[in-house]
Amino acid sequence: MPVYAADGLLACHACDCLHRIVAVPARAKALCRRCGALLYRNMPRSLDHSAALYLAALILFLLANTFPFVALQYGDRIEQSLLVSGGFALQRAGMGEIGLLVFLTSVVFPFLTICGMLYLLLPLRFGYRPPWMTPVWRLVRSLSPWSLIGVFMLGLLVSVVKLQDLAAIVPGVAFYAFIGLLVVSAAAVASFDPAVLWPRMGPVPDNDAASAAADSAAALGYAVCSTCDLLVRRPAADVRWVCPRCGSAVHGMRVPNSISRTWALLGSAALLLVPANLYPVMTVTRFGQGEPNTILSGVVHLVQDGAWPLGLLVFFASFIVPLSKIAVLVLLLVTVQRESAWRLRDRTLLYRVTEVVGAWSMVDIFLVGIMVALVRMDGLATVYPGIGASFFGAAVVLTMMAAHAFDPRLVWDRAASGHQEQGGQRHE
Ligand SMILES: [Zn+2]
Ligand SMILES: [Zn+2]
């Protein structure tokens, strides 16, 4: 199967700009000529590398989940915890929904992502296509933004600092396996080229279609398959629009109801952020005494303990990021609705950054889960989760869903419809 179909077309996922697919040198990137987003990379032996790395990730994942993760040593008392303890401890403390969120994002989703990738890559490595490629890939693609092992690791780091004057922290085998998992899975993601599964083949263009200076695939009647990224032409008759390669339904040229869904999710997230910051996220008691901590007072404690770089990091992740994410998405929605042509490239970049950074707000949720799981020495010290954590968790999930619901291609559509004169002069 040719990876680069010489005369195929490809649409930018961020702005829908149409490109001819050309071969690029090894390890080089092809960027969108209009918005600068990454279109594809040429990665030699991507299949070999990514299959091996995902295999290593699976082994490290299993090690990280079977051996003790960290132990808390207080005098001659030792409390051991497993990686999964966080979710279950929250559930025992009566906060099952947050426990489930921690369990899903730190254990279940990473596991399903790794297994799904191996299911796809290993058979391909040995020369045959696995059955059910489409549903498995769709699952992997929808879960990967929600597998947050890096954020979990940061939460653990913060909890170690918070607990250092309470007890000694002894890392277990699983702790080192988890660090390995973090590195290996990042390398696996970086070495994977989607063209291994779905070769970059657009439709063979009509001569006039490709030469017409079309700034969007939609203008020529093409939509991008949301599963395998193939460009699919709108069917002439009134039949169901289906991707000919992977069989997924094509839901039109843009994410359906993107603007109204993003507004609704953002509004709910903004409302939830109020109680999330007013109510305590956890209470640390020592010898029966302790005061509830909100997100911000937790940051203040970190700074007072001298851990100001970490305090700053938590402040940024749990306070600045959610607020600026909401502000950025509101800005994007308003400018799209006003059909503004203002700083199109910068707005696209802003969206990309928002989407990537948003997940790090989960660090406070993981912190609460880890602290509740680790510190359960009756009489000496205990950590109780607070209702603020539930509000905060819900707010973070909603802002992440809002970012996924927003279709960045609308930024360019609306601008193009308002300012037609910008379209004509494009060069390859
Ligand atoms: Zn683009
Ligand atoms: Zn498809």
Which of 404, 255, 279, 410 lies closest to 334 in space, CA to CA? 410
- Spacing, Cα 80 to ligand 1 middle (Å): 50
Contact 392, 365 (CB under 8 A): yes
237 is written with which tokens? 């008759």
Let me know if 323 is exposed, middle or buried by CB neighbors in 10 A (0-12, 13-18, 19+): middle
Ranges of the chain with pLDDT below 50: 1-6, 419-428
Residue with tokens 């396996």: 177
> pLDDT value at position 81?
85
- Spacing, Cα 246 to ligand 2 middle (Å): 4
What is the rounded distance in angstroms from the CA atom of residue 193 to the CA atom of residue 43? Answer: 7
- Spacing, Cα 210 to ligand 1 middle (Å): 17
Q: How far is CA 335 from CA 13, 270, 287, 414, in A?
A: 19, 19, 55, 9
- Spacing, Cα 33 to ligand 1 middle (Å): 7
What is the rounded distance in angstroms from the CA atom of residue 162 to the CA atom of residue 307? Answer: 9
Find the ligand nearest to 348 CA. Answer: 1
- Spacing, Cα 40 to ligand 2 middle (Å): 17
Find the ligand nearest to 249 CA. Answer: 2
Every domain of the chain and the residues it spans: 46-196+256-418
> pLDDT value at position 199?
86
**192-238, pLDDT tens digit by residue?**
999 899 988 777 766 665 555 567 888 888 888 989 988 888 887 77
- Spacing, Cα 343 to ligand 1 middle (Å): 14
Find the ligand nearest to 215 CA. Answer: 1
Widest pairwise Cα distance in the chain: 79
> pLDDT value at position 261?
97
What is the rounded distance in angstroms from the CA atom of residue 276 to the CA atom of residue 294? Answer: 8
Chain CA centroid to CA 23, Å: 29
> pLDDT value at position 7?
56
- Spacing, Cα 413 to ligand 2 middle (Å): 23
- Spacing, Cα 134 to ligand 2 middle (Å): 8
What is the rounded distance in angstroms from the CA atom of residue 32 to the CA atom of residue 100? Answer: 39
- Spacing, Cα 39 to ligand 1 middle (Å): 8
Nearest-Å Rg of the Cα atoms of the chain is 24
